Chains A and B, each alone.
Chain A
Amino acid sequence: MSVNETISSAAEQHENSVPVQDVVTEKKREDMPVQEGKTVGLPYADDPKFKLRNVEVFYGEDRAIKDISLDIARNEVISFIGPSGCGKSTFLRCLNRMNDSIDICRVKGQLMLDDEDIYHSRRDVVELRARVGMVFQKPNPFPKSIYDNVAYGPRIHGLANRKSDLDDIVENSLRKAGLWDEVKDRLDATATGMSGGQQQRLCIARAIAVSPEVILMDEPCSALDPIATAKVEELISEMSESYTIVIVTHSMQQAARVSHRTAYFHLGHLVEVNETSKVFTAPQHELTESYITGRFG
């Protein structure tokens, strides 16, 4: 069963899935109510990697994520789109608890990774992040050598006992990130001297060096030129065979190119989730349609 089939079959079975007719109205966008907890499309999947139910995120008194429920399937590429400030990055960062370092941030609801609670009080964040890697908006290599950047994760997690093992991990990761041929002769060169696209691919190599199960990408291409972007997108497609990938993006073309499913966020609500082709060709919710046709956002 392919990823998409898993999702659709789950949606049919799930009682919570909202019938399309419920939300389609002729009202103007401003009057359009977003019903809390009601998401159009196919938000659920069988045997999901992530099972997220009734997730709410507060910044102090401010409710940034409003009752979102979503499944993320295994080996799926799902992209989060939506206007700035809609909470897609915040939601993404809940998946490996990157919000922990923000003091005023509180997360409510049920977030399960392989049926284990992500926010359980005894959950080890370090172990979680080793399984759920992250690539950030701005390429952020450590100011060290290329080799050390990739080797850092395996080193701190004790993944390689011998130098030769570590060398293998570094080479494999760089190969997977499509960077090996460009840097194999200068592994000792400082990573900050590379081009932006190379740096971002290095960050991806650094993330896959610890063999995560999931990779979260927070607008990975927004600081890159079109050629570098194309390379990273190609990379994402290749990686989807072995990883579950969640990608936040502002580029709808990118979402259309790389993802199986697309989720549209609006003011902290998850408005619509569906197979990417459906979202872009036949959006079911008016807000989604307005956004993808460029009426706002």
Chain B
Amino acid sequence: MTDQRSQAELVRQSLKRRYRKERRFRLYGIVAIFIALASLFILFADIIGKGHTGFVKTTITLDVTLDSETMYLDDPTDKDQIAMADFVAPIIAALQDHFPNAEGRAAKRELGRLVGSYAASDIRDLLEANPDLLNTTQTMEFLAHDTVSVYVKHADDPSYSIRLSEQQQAWVDELLEKGVVDTSFNDVLFSRGDSREPGNAGILGAIVGSLFTMLVTLAISFPVGIAAAIYLEEFAPQNRLTDFIEVNINNLAAVPSIIFGLLGLAVFIGLFGMPRSVPVVGGLVLALMTLPTIIISSRAAIKSVPPSIREAAEGIGASKMQVVLHHVVPLAMPGMLTGSIIGMAQALGETAPLLLIGMVAFIVDVPDGFFSSATVLPVQIYLWASSSEQGFVELASAGIMVLLAFMISMNALAIWLRKRLERRW
């Protein structure tokens, strides 16, 4: 009896110890998750805090008198005259209407610096398109100069105003009150390519470039990767050669991405003479980089198809090909798609290899094909983040948000596809 009682006592004590251990273990887990979530939260808060102003543009709306005398322009259809004409003058004149006291060259120059440097070309484009508008008064909306834009967006923080003179600050304040200077959603960001001036710079060029690049990557890596996975998993004999291939695929997945860039530079550009900074070469390089990911995840998906299904099909007399195509591939498809989408998301965020093949160039035009010069989202962000102007720093953060939005939607797509296609057995 005593023996039994002491044993029960021992068990009770060990139980206490075990429960304590379990509680501690759970605590570690909770702390780990908390740290992960906290860093994620800090990251998002920082990016959104810095970048939300990137989605806002500052505009100045003026009644511009397109006077032929002030512009030195008689005939807007004459190319030489257009090239020589002074399109800033009418803008300054329009601003002077608001501030009659601003006289003299210095004051005029300061007034002129309230609008962005592309304001003049807005007027030129308008006149070139509609020569009849000469000597009329038009209400036009101009993008404000970067310094003005930063000052308006950060009105509560004096450290952002230093690049405007006090006179200019007073003007902007007054124009803000009158509603001439206004902020609105930055549609420029989504409708233009890169620019020297932050207010005029957009991310559309990079988005389209990314799209073309991803299409090339998808078109190559998805079929090749899945075919390789199916062959290796289902048909390849088990021998030294396939072992060697398997090891090397795994190694390839661990190769730093910049090496793939060097390979692209040496092979596609150096050897095959393909043009630099075009989506085709970028897509090829990223396809090589994504292949191992797709092959490995597809093989795992194929392996996870229960052997009973294979046996069932074989038992009825399905050929190897029929077993694979009718049963194994459909059942493995969710896994293969998930792996591919995650591989694509990785490729979408890749910068290093693209720097080497010249996709880091300053490209203003939105690319119109697989062979036109382009840049991609992460490279665009890199370019903006490394520039000194506050406007570009904001744009970089805004670009990061756009990139993250793409990533999250791709991952969401992967989850949705998996849920949708998943079959239970």
Report A's interface with B, CB cutoff 8 A.
96, 98, 101, 103, 126-130, 133-136, 138, 140-143, 152-153, 156-157, 192, 203, 206-207, 210
Cβ–Cβ < 8 Å partners of B322 in chain A: 156
Question: Is B316 a contact of A133 with CB atoms below 8 Å?
Answer: yes
* A133, B326: Cα distance in complex, Å: 19
Question: Is B313 a contact of A142 with CB atoms below 8 Å?
Answer: yes
Interface 9-residue window, one of B64-72, B136-144, B304-312, B363-371: B304-312
Question: Is B309 a contact of A140 with CB atoms below 8 Å?
Answer: yes
**Other-chain residue from B306, B315, B423 in contact with A129 (beta carbon distance below 8 A):** B315
Cβ–Cβ < 8 Å partners of A152 in chain B: 313, 316, 318, 326
Name the residue among B238, B316, B326, B423 with the largest chain A CB count within 10 angstroms.
B316
Cβ–Cβ < 8 Å partners of B314 in chain A: 98, 101, 129
Cβ–Cβ < 8 Å partners of A126 in chain B: 317-319
Question: Is A142 a contact of B312 with CB atoms below 8 Å?
Answer: yes
B25 within 8 A of A: no
Question: Is A141 a contact of B312 with CB atoms below 8 Å?
Answer: yes
Cβ–Cβ < 8 Å partners of A206 in chain B: 312, 316
Name the residue among A126, A135, A136, A138 with the largest chain B CB count within 10 angstroms.
A126
* A143, B425: Cα distance in complex, Å: 6
**Other-chain residue from A129, A138, A192 in contact with B316 (beta carbon distance below 8 A):** A129
Q: Which residue of B lies closest to A100 (CB)?
A: B314
B327 within 8 A of A: yes
Cβ–Cβ < 8 Å partners of B327 in chain A: 142
CB proximity of B238 to chain A, nearest CB, Å: 6
**Other-chain residue from A127, A128, A143 in contact with B331 (beta carbon distance below 8 A):** A143
* 11 CB < 8 A contacts A-B: A98-B314, A103-B238, A129-B315, A134-B311, A136-B311, A138-B308, A141-B312, A142-B309, A142-B312, A142-B327, A156-B318
Cβ–Cβ < 8 Å partners of A203 in chain B: 312
CB proximity of B332 to chain A, nearest CB, Å: 12
* A251, B123: Cα distance in complex, Å: 94
Q: Name B224-269 residues within 8 Å CB distance of A.
A: 238
| Interface of A: prevailing SS | helix
* A103, B234: Cα distance in complex, Å: 12
B178 within 8 A of A: no
**Other-chain residue from A101, A129, A136, A192 in contact with B424 (beta carbon distance below 8 A):** A192
CB proximity of A211 to chain B, nearest CB, Å: 11
Cβ–Cβ < 8 Å partners of B423 in chain A: 143, 192
Question: Is B311 a contact of A156 with CB atoms below 8 Å?
Answer: no
Cβ–Cβ < 8 Å partners of B312 in chain A: 136, 140-142, 203, 206
**Other-chain residue from B309, B315, B318, B319 in contact with A133 (beta carbon distance below 8 A):** B315
* A157, B317: Cα distance in complex, Å: 8
Q: What is the interface residue range for chain B against chain A?
A: 20 to 34
Question: Is A136 a contact of B316 with CB atoms below 8 Å?
Answer: no
**Other-chain residue from A98, A138, A141, A157 in contact with B315 (beta carbon distance below 8 A):** A98
Cβ–Cβ < 8 Å partners of A134 in chain B: 311, 315
Q: Which residue of B lies closest to A134 (CB)?
A: B315
CB proximity of A262 to chain B, nearest CB, Å: 24
The answer to whether A207 and B315 touch (CB under 8 A), given A103-B238, A140-B308, A140-B309, is: yes
* A101, B234: Cα distance in complex, Å: 10
Q: Which residue of A lies closest to B311 (CB)?
A: A136
CB proximity of A160 to chain B, nearest CB, Å: 14
Cβ–Cβ < 8 Å partners of B310 in chain A: 101
* A277, B195: Cα distance in complex, Å: 94
Question: Is B316 a contact of A153 with CB atoms below 8 Å?
Answer: yes
Question: Is B316 a contact of A210 with CB atoms below 8 Å?
Answer: yes
Question: Is A156 a contact of B425 with CB atoms below 8 Å?
Answer: no
Cβ–Cβ < 8 Å partners of A136 in chain B: 308, 311-312, 315
CB proximity of A26 to chain B, nearest CB, Å: 44
CB proximity of B304 to chain A, nearest CB, Å: 14
Give 1 or 0 for each of B172-216: 1 = CB within 8 Å of chain A CB.
000000000000000000000000000000000000000000000
CB proximity of A128 to chain B, nearest CB, Å: 8
Question: Is B425 a contact of A192 with CB atoms below 8 Å?
Answer: yes
Question: Is A156 a contact of B316 with CB atoms below 8 Å?
Answer: yes
Give 1 or 0 for each of B393-425: 1 = CB within 8 Å of chain A CB.
000000000000000000000000000000111
Name the residue among B314, B319, B326 with the largest chain A CB count within 10 angstroms.
B314
CB proximity of A19 to chain B, nearest CB, Å: 39
Q: Name B266-296 residues within 8 Å CB distance of A.
A: none
Question: Is A153 a contact of B317 with CB atoms below 8 Å?
Answer: yes
* A152, B315: Cα distance in complex, Å: 12
Q: Which residue of B lies closest to A104 (CB)?
A: B238
Question: Is A143 a contact of B424 with CB atoms below 8 Å?
Answer: yes
Question: Is A207 a contact of B316 with CB atoms below 8 Å?
Answer: yes
Q: Which residue of B lies closest to A139 (CB)?
A: B308
Beyond A156-B317, A192-B423, 19 additional pairs, beta carbon < 8 A: A101-B314, A126-B317, A126-B319, A129-B314, A129-B315, A130-B316, A130-B317, A133-B317, A136-B311, A136-B315, A140-B308, A142-B312, A143-B331, A152-B313, A153-B317, A156-B322, A206-B312, A206-B316, A210-B316
Cβ–Cβ < 8 Å partners of A140 in chain B: 306, 308-309, 311-312, 425
Cβ–Cβ < 8 Å partners of B313 in chain A: 142, 152
Cβ–Cβ < 8 Å partners of A98 in chain B: 311, 314-315
Cβ–Cβ < 8 Å partners of A127 in chain B: 317
* A135, B311: Cα distance in complex, Å: 10
* A272, B306: Cα distance in complex, Å: 35
CB proximity of B317 to chain A, nearest CB, Å: 4
* A141, B423: Cα distance in complex, Å: 12
The answer to whether A129 and B308 touch (CB under 8 A), given A142-B327, A143-B331, is: no
CB proximity of B59 to chain A, nearest CB, Å: 58
CB proximity of B230 to chain A, nearest CB, Å: 16
Cβ–Cβ < 8 Å partners of B311 in chain A: 98, 134, 136, 140
* A128, B317: Cα distance in complex, Å: 8
Name the residue among A98, A126, A130, A142 with the largest chain B CB count within 10 angstroms.
A142
Cβ–Cβ < 8 Å partners of A103 in chain B: 238
Q: Which residue of A lies closest to B308 (CB)?
A: A140
Cβ–Cβ < 8 Å partners of A143 in chain B: 309, 331, 423-425
Cβ–Cβ < 8 Å partners of B306 in chain A: 140
* A207, B425: Cα distance in complex, Å: 19
Cβ–Cβ < 8 Å partners of B326 in chain A: 152, 156
* A210, B316: Cα distance in complex, Å: 7
* A279, B424: Cα distance in complex, Å: 43
Name the residue among B311, B326, B331 with the largest chain A CB count within 10 angstroms.
B311
Cβ–Cβ < 8 Å partners of B315 in chain A: 96, 98, 129, 133-136, 207
